Amino acid sequence: MTFVSERLGHFPYFDRQLGKPEWQGKKVLDFGGNAGNILLDPNCSIEHDKYWCIDISKDAIDLGRKRHPRANFVFYDRYNSEFNPGGTTDLDVPDTGNRFDYIFAYSVFTHTSRAEMLDLVGRLKSVLAARGRLVFSFLDPDYVPAGRTDSNLTGFLRKRIRDGNSLAVEALARVARSASWCSLVDQTLFVETEASCNGRNGIAHSYLTFYTPDYMQTLFPEGQIVAPIRDIPQMVQHCCIVTGV
């Protein structure tokens, strides 16, 4: 079975990051939206028939279609070492025939290489409506979420290094402290270099990429970088908002 998420909180995250826009009549693409959990929020006012979800998990897409029959779900059989290792490398984003007022991508580019993120953002920008907005999240390695003592990177290092070797965690965190970006593939940290997707048995079981807000701004100078909303504790990622021309 491919990955099906139960995480909630996406609607208030995007709603507030965008300044609570008017959702009625707006076409929305939830890129990597899994089973369309954003529509489960009781306050979500996105119209189902104007909502599209594209995801690489066939099981999530099938569940989304059952839960939200008026919404639009598209399976995207693109390769991802962690979530869809049997998919097709560099497969283009499915053409829905629409231009979107809003495109969301929460915790999508945290699981890709930097090169893949840059490529996919370019493809998504091409299907934005005039003055539409693309909002994608990213993990700041140095950000400390509310109620925690570890930064994002240190917290994930503790999870990945299963033997609990605190010295190894601290050493790796020090290596990345001055870096603008890094990737954690299983237990291997790649600093400011594209990571290999090949982990145990040729598959990376966990692939995470982190970017500082300053570095993300250099990658997308036209974008607006926004910090996480601290009173939505499960949504710990910054976002970049790019407006279509």
In this prediction, residues 210-224 reach a mean pLDDT of 98
Domains present along the chain, CATH in parentheses: 10-139+216-243 (3.40.50.150), 152-214 (no CATH)
pLDDT digits (tens, 9 = 90+) for 86-117: 999 999 999 999 999 999 999 999 999 999 99
> What pLDDT was estimated at residue 161?
81
Round to whole Å and give the CA distance between 37 and 57. Answer: 14
Amino acid at 139: L
What value does the mean pLDDT take over residues 169-190?
Answer: 90
pLDDT tens-digit series, residues 116-171: 999 999 999 999 999 999 999 999 999 999 889 999 999 999 988 866 578 888 88
Q: Which of 29, 31, 51 is nearest to 39 (CA)?
A: 51
Tell me if the pTM is above 0.85.
yes
Spatial contact of 61 and 52, defined as CB atoms under 8 Å apart:
no
Per-residue tokens: 10: 């996406």
- Where do we find the tokens 């079981």? 205
Q: What is the pLDDT of residue 204?
A: 55
Pairing of strands 51-55, 72-75: parallel
Q: What are phi and psi of 242, to 5 degrees?
A: -115, 130
What does the alpha-carbon distance between residue 112 and residue 212 come to, in Å, rounded to a whole number?
A: 16
